[in-house]
Amino acid sequence: MRFARMLQNGGQLNGKRILKPETVRLMRTDAMPVDVGDKSWLISDKGQVGFGIDLAVRIRPPASAQEKSGEVGEFFWDGADDTLFWVDPKNQITAVLFTQYKPFGKVPLHKAFRDAVYSSLPEALAH
């Protein structure tokens, strides 16, 4: 969570500069070349995403109810054992979910968690 909050704060944590703002901007900007052929690892229920420096970046709003809730401009990483963190600058959300569930994705934990977070937003912000 501290890492996610540092990213949310443009590279600062508790008043200390950890990363340059330019570095955080690169991390949350889609840098995926258009000619990359196999994007299957980024597609599926993650939604319309690209890839920045080490993080997935949402580039379009969820196209259907089957996609995970989220906001254009959010950036995130999901990992082994169904771990997840994401930062949504627009809604000022930092979220972390740690489990030890294998195999990855067999239980829709990420979607349920994201849906719960976004359903708690005021109607004006929620998608």
Percent of the chain surpassing pLDDT 70: 89
Percent of the chain surpassing pLDDT 90: 41
pLDDT for 124: 43
For the chain, give every domain's residue range: 2-119
Going across the sheet that includes 93-97, the strands are 49-51, 56-58, 75-79, 83-88, 93-97
Domain 2-119: CATH superfamily is DD-peptidase/beta-lactamase superfamily (3.40.710.10)
51 versus 8: the higher-pLDDT residue is 8
pLDDT in tens, 22-78: 999 999 999 988 888 776 666 566 677 888 888 889 988 888 888 888 899 999 988
Average pLDDT, the chain: 86
47-56, 88-97, 109-118: which has the minimum mean pLDDT? 47-56
DSSP string, 3-45: HHHHHHTTTEETTEE-S-HHHHHHHTS----TT----TTT-GG
